[in-house]
Structure 1
Amino acid sequence: MCVIGNGVVVHLPGLFKEIDGLESNGVSCKGRILVSDRAHLLFDYHQEIDGLREAELAKSFIGTTKRGIGPCYSSKVIRNGMRVSDLRHMDTFADKLDLLLSDAAARFKGFKYTRDVLKEEVETYKRFAERLEPFICDTVYYMNESISQKKKILVEGGQATMLDIDFGTYPFVTSSSPSAGGICTGLGIAPRVIGDLVGVVKAYTTRVGSGPFPTELLGNAGDLLRAAGHEFGTTTGRPRRCGWLDIVALKYVCQINGFTSLNLTKLDVLSDLPEIQLGVSYKHTDGTPMNSFPADLGDLEQSKVEYETMPGWNIDISSVRNYSDLPKAARQYVERIEQLVGVPVHYIGVGPGHQRCGTITVLLEYTVIVLCLTSAEATDSRSESSFNGLASLEYHSIHV
C-alpha cells in the first residue's frame, strides 16, 4: 500500500497521469494507493503564479521548477488553501476556489481570471472528485493503525535536508520540511515510533539552480564530474552544479536528522580521479574557524573551505559487491567520511541498478530514508513535494 500523506500538496492532473501511465503498462493501482483527506490541492493556477513570481524576481530568482509547490504551500500557511476533503463538498467548492483565484488575480497582474475560468475549473474538479474518491482516506488513522498492527513501514523522502525551509540555505530552499522532522508532521506519526534513519548522500556534492555552494568545482573539473555522474535535474533537465563532498554540511544534517547510518551513493563516479578532496571545515575571511554551518548566506558565500586530499583508486568498482573487495583507497575514503561525521556508512552505491550496492540487506520495523545534501532540484521537484508524507507499508526487506 502506498500512502500520500497530509503534508503533501497534490496536483491531481499529475497524479492521474502517473496512475494512467502505470495502468497502461499493466500495473493496477486499485486498492494500492491512499491519499490523505488532509492533503492540500495544488491547482494549475499555482503553477502559473509560480512562474509569474519567478519573473518578478528577475536576477535574484530562486530557481523554482515552476510546479506550483511554493504558492500552494503559501495558500496552506495563510489558511485559504483547499484540501482533498473539500472535494467531498462540491456545494462550497466554487466559493472557496473563487477566493483563491481572486486573491491571485489581485496579486499578479499577469494572471487573468474570469467567472468562466472558475466555472470550467469547478466542472473539472467535479470529475476529479469522483475519480479520486476511492483513494481518499484518513491516512493519519490508517498509519497509526498500521503501526499498532506492527506492519513494516518505509518512509521515503525526496528533496534534501539542505533544502529544508528551516534548516536549508534559505531562501534557496523548498517550501516544506524534507528532514526527519517532516515525517511526524507530514504523516501524523509520533516521534517515539520512528525507528532507524538512513541518510542518503552522494560521494560528492551537487546542487541545481541558484544558491551558495562552498565546495563547488568550476570549469572543466565540474564538467567532468557532472558527465561521469549524469548529473541533470530529474524534473527540469537542468545541469547540476558539482563539487567535492562537503563534510561541514553533512555533519550538520546528521545532527538535525539523527541518522542511524548513511547510504553513500555514486562512489563509482569518483573512480577515474587521481585525487579526491573532502571539504572538512570552513573559516571566516579573517581565518578564524566557523564552529557550525552558518545561517547567514553572506558568511557561507565568503567562507574559505579547508580540504583534505586523499588518493584516488583509478579502478572500475561497478562490479564490486563486498566492501572488502573495494580498492584500499576507496575504503579509506569511506572510512574517513565515517570518522569525520561520526555516523557509520552501512550502504554503498557503486552504479545504477538494484544490484549495484553494498551487500547489506536489512530487516527493520520502521525505516526512514532521508536525503542529506542538496542533491535534488534546487527547490521543488514534484507535486508530491519533499518528505511530507510518502509512505509504503508491508516492506519486509529493504535493499538500498
Structure 2
Amino acid sequence: MSHVMNSLPTHTPAPESLAFRANLARLVSPLRRIRPTVPFWRLAAHRIPTLHLYRDLLRTAPTDHIHWRVRNIFRRNHHLTAIETTKRELTKGYKWLGIFQSAASGDPKWQAVLERYDRMVESKIEKEHWRDLIDKELEWQHRLKNRPILTGGILHATPVNPPIPRMKPQPMEISRIMVKRMKQREKRFAKLNTLSEYRDMARREREFEEGLIGKHVDGDKAVWGGKAFKDWAVQLSESSKTIYADLTRQTEKFLAPYPPELLEQVAEARRNKIENKTREHERERRGEILKSTFRRQRRGLPAHLLSRLTKDQVEQELIVRRSVAEVGYIGQLKQKKGWKLRTPKDEGKSEEKVWSVIDGTWTSPLFENALRKRGEAIMEENETRETETSTEGAATT
C-alpha cells in the first residue's frame, strides 16, 4: 500500500498560484478580529486614553458648572461594561472636547452655546442637590429601619468566633468574617493532611531505599534514609506544630469565659425587649392594629392539634392564641386553659375585693351576694305579677 501511494504522481501548485495565496493571506490577516482575553476596561489601550480625555475635559471646561457636569457624567459612566455604550459615550466626550477647545480659541458660536448650556446646568445642579438630599434621607431611613438590634441572646463561642451578642439582622460584616475564618481553618486542616501524607511518603521512600541498598549505607549515598530522613521529618514536624499552635491559640481565644461587659449588655437588651413587648401589648389592648397584630392573626395551629381537636376546640384555641386580651370571654378561656394572667393592683385597697376576669374589675363577695339576692327578689316579684295578670285575664273571660 505504501508502495502504491509513493508511486502516485504529485501535483505542485504553479508559482502564480503560490504568489496569489501569499498576497491574499497578507491582505486578510490584518482584518482578522482578535478577541482579547481580558475585558476592555482592564486594557491599557482603553484606560490611558480615557483618563487623558477626562483630564482634558476638566482642564478645558469653561465654567465651574460645566466642570461639575463633566465630573458627574464620568462618575455615572464609570461602571459601563457594554462595548457599544462605552464607545458612544467616548465619542460624545471627544466631541465635547472639540467644542471646548473651539470656544477657548475664540469661536463666538460655541461660546454662546456654552453660555446657554451653563445656565441650564446651573438649574440642574440645584435639582441634583435636592435629589441627593432626598436619596440620602431615604437611605438613612432604610438603615434605621433595618439596623441590627440586640435580641437578648448570645451567639455562643465557636472555634471561628468569640461570644458576641445575637443581633437581628446580623451584620453582613460579621458573617463575612466568620466565613473567612472557616475557610482559613479548613485550609489549615488540609495543609496538615498534606504534611502527614508527605511524612508517610518520605517514610515509604526510606524503606524502599533501604530494601535496595541495605540499611548500613553511607550518609552521602542515601537520599531518603539516615540524616536525610531526619531533615525531612524535622521540617514537616515543625510545620505541623506551627499549624497546631495557631489552631489551639485561636480556639483558646474564642472559648475563653464570657466577659462581664457582654453579659451586662445582653441583660440590658433583655430588659429592653420585655419593656418593648409590654408596651406593644398595651397598645394592642387599646385597639391599635400593629404589624405584630397581623402576624398573630395569620398564625394557625400545628397539624397534630388540628387532627385531634374538635371544631369548637380549634375555634377556642385560635381565639386564645390570636388575642392579647386577659378579661371577658377571652380571659375566661385563658384561665380555663391554665394561662398565667396578669392581675392589676387593687385601687380600692380593700382586702374583701377580688379580681373578676369576666368583668375585668375588682369586685367584693358581699356586694356580689347582695346583687344576687336583689336579683332573685326581682325575679320572684316578676313571676308573682305575671301569675296575677294571667289569673285576672282568665276570670274576665
Report which of the two has the higher share of strand.
1
Report which of the two has the higher share of helix.
2
Work out which of the two has the higher radius of gyration on C-alpha atoms and give 1 or 2.
Answer: 2
Taking structure 2 as the reference length, the TM-score comes to: 0.20
